[in-house]
Amino acid sequence: MNLTIPYDEFRVWKQLIAPKLSNLNETAEEIIEYAITEILNNAQDHSGGNKVSISISQDENNISVTIGDDGVGIFKHIMAHLHLDQALDAAIELCKGKLTTQPERHSGEGLFFTLQAVDRLTICANTHCLELTDSQVTFNVDQEISGTKVTVQLRKTMNRSLETVFNAYCHVNEDEIPVFDKTVFRLQLAQTEGRLISRSQAKRVMNGMERFAIVEVDFTGVDNIGQGFADEMFRVWPSFHKETVIKATYANEKVKKLISRVIAHC
């Protein structure tokens, strides 16, 4: 499709993609529709490219949809907007939620909820690939590609619904409006460049987290952290952002003890 001509992402989904899918249950169809329309909209508004391509593969149990554009690449785009030095820093910001380079047009929520809803999401751009599943997150150097390629994969029979995903990260305020005020950051991503030892690494992870009321730091795949990292994340940062609650989840006993020790100095 030609990105220089505005398109309706819902009609692209309805007319070009949905008819090619088969045997999805209602929740799976709801999730894939949400994911695809969000990614198509992002390509149109943010990529700066001229073309977008769509490919679909499926078997009896699973479906995979890839959307690619020929723009600047999502990691370079974020790096330029936030003045970041590395693609990993851009990936870290992307995974926090509420990231948008056009706040007047986007809330920064769509891709975050897509990450939480699908079984696997892969984002390849420039020279890196970010891959997230329920159990693992990786950020690897890959061959350079033009633009951004996003692949979503999910089972054709899904148990979790979009409503369940939204409810896990939102609360209903006094006006009965759902508010996105919780995030879960998977610390394994920040560990990509090496052991999590320094205060600067912790500052990088916690940058902008004051946007949330609750921040859960998921320690899956992280066996150890340094005292400076722990002190910055669990004592220093919260002392300047008292309205945000930070929690450590899935930490091993060694990490729990270190966190308890630095918190005791509050």
90, 188: one domain? no
234 and 246 in contact (C-beta within 8 Å)? yes
Round to the nearest angstrom and report the end-to-end CA distance of the chain: 56
Query: Could you say which of 160, 192, 227 is where a domain stops?
Result: 160
- Greater pLDDT, 95 or 45: 95
- Greater pLDDT, 2 or 7: 7
Say if residue 3's pLDDT is above 60.
Answer: no
- Greater pLDDT, 173 or 182: 182
Per-chain mean pLDDT for the chain = 88
CB-based contacts of 254, cutoff 8 Å, min separation 6: 223, 224
Query: Could you say which of 114, 130, 160 is where a domain stops?
Result: 160
**Other beta carbons less than 10 A from residue 257's beta carbon:** 10
Any domain includes 68 = yes
**Other beta carbons less than 10 A from residue 9's beta carbon:** 17
Q: Pick the range with the lowest mean pLDDT from 45-54, 76-85, 152-161.
A: 45-54
Sign for the pseudo-dihedral over CA of 79, 130, 190, 101: positive
182 and 214 in contact (C-beta within 8 Å)? yes
Q: Looking at residues 207-217, what average pLDDT do you find?
A: 95
124, 220: one domain? no
83, 194: one domain? no
110, 215: one domain? no
Looking from the CA of 243 toward its CB, the CA atoms found within 13 Å total 6
For residue 106, name the pLDDT band (cuts at 50, 70, 90).
very low
13, 82: one domain? yes
**DSSP H helices in 83-226:** 87-96, 110-117, 162-169, 199-206
Say if residue 101's pLDDT is above 60.
Answer: no
232, 191: one domain? yes
Any domain includes 21 = yes
Any domain includes 222 = yes
Give me the percent of the chain exceeding a pLDDT of 90. 64
CB-based contacts of 204, cutoff 8 Å, min separation 6: 89, 92, 190
125, 203: one domain? no
Flag whether the pTM goes above 0.85: yes
Give me the percent of the chain exceeding a pLDDT of 70. 91
158 and 27 in contact (C-beta within 8 Å)? yes
For residue 11, name the pLDDT band (cuts at 50, 70, 90).
confident
| Enclosing domain of residue 237 | 181-263
pLDDT score at 173: 75
Any domain includes 28 = yes
Any domain includes 202 = yes
119, 197: one domain? no
119, 248: one domain? no
Q: Pick the range with the lowest mean pLDDT from 14-18, 120-124, 248-252.
A: 14-18
Residue 102, exposed/middle/buried by CB under 10 A (0-12, 13-18, 19+)? Answer: exposed
Tell me how many domains the chain contains.
2
Any domain includes 233 = yes
Say if residue 9's pLDDT is above 50.
Answer: yes
- Report pLDDT digits (tens) over 123-159: 999 889 999 998 899 999 877 778 899 999 999 999 9
For residue 51, name the pLDDT band (cuts at 50, 70, 90).
confident
Query: Could you say which of 131, 160, 189 is where a domain stops?
Result: 160
Any domain includes 20 = yes
**DSSP H helices in 120-249:** 162-169, 199-206, 227-231, 237-240
92, 153: one domain? yes
Amino acid identity of residue 199, one-letter, is R
Residue 55, exposed/middle/buried by CB under 10 A (0-12, 13-18, 19+)? Answer: exposed
Any domain includes 194 = yes
Continuous segment of H or E residues that includes residue 55: strand 52-58
122 and 140 in contact (C-beta within 8 Å)? no
* CATH code of the domain covering residue 120: 3.30.565.10
Q: Strands 182-186, 214-218: parallel, antiparallel or unpaired by DSSP?
A: parallel
186, 155: one domain? no
Look up residue 238 and give its two tokens: 């919260």
44, 108: one domain? yes
- Report pLDDT digits (tens) over 227-245: 999 999 999 999 999 999 9
pLDDT score at 109: 78
Say if residue 48's pLDDT is above 70.
Answer: no
Q: Looking at residues 91-114, what average pLDDT do you find?
A: 74
